């Protein structure tokens, strides 16, 4: 929920700003950005659509993990291409 977003969003923001400032782009970054966004929406939908239980939290972790992988991959691509 909120705690994960507080940890994840600043890192995602830094990567997004760095990508914008460096002008780095490409299909891979575009695909990772879309995947991140879809995972974020999925996580939010699970969060708001179901009463919060341990099982629901476990389900929410899947999209959260996808977001983390996307941000790390975007950071690596940025480091390689900048």
pLDDT in tens, 2-27: 555 556 667 788 888 888 888 888 99
Instruction: State how far the alpha carbon of 34 is from the alpha carbons of 37, 50, 67, 73, in Å.
Output: 5, 24, 10, 13
Q: pLDDT above 90 covers what percent of the chain?
A: 61
Task: Report the C-alpha gap between 56 and 11 in whole angstroms.
Answer: 25
- Is the pLDDT score of 71 beyond 90? yes
Angstrom distance (rounded) from CA 82 to CA 79: 6
């Amino acid at each position: 929920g909120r705690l994960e977003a507080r940890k994840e969003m600043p890192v995602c923001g830094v990567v997004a700003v760095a990508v914008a400032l460096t002008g780095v782009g490409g299909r891979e970054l575009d695909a990772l950005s879309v995947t991140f966004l879809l995972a974020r929406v999925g996580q939010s939908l699970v969060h708001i659509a179901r009463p919060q239980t341990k099982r629901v939290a476990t389900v929410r972790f899947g999209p959260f993990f996808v977001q983390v992988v996307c941000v790390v991959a975007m950071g690596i691509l940025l480091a390689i291409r900048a």
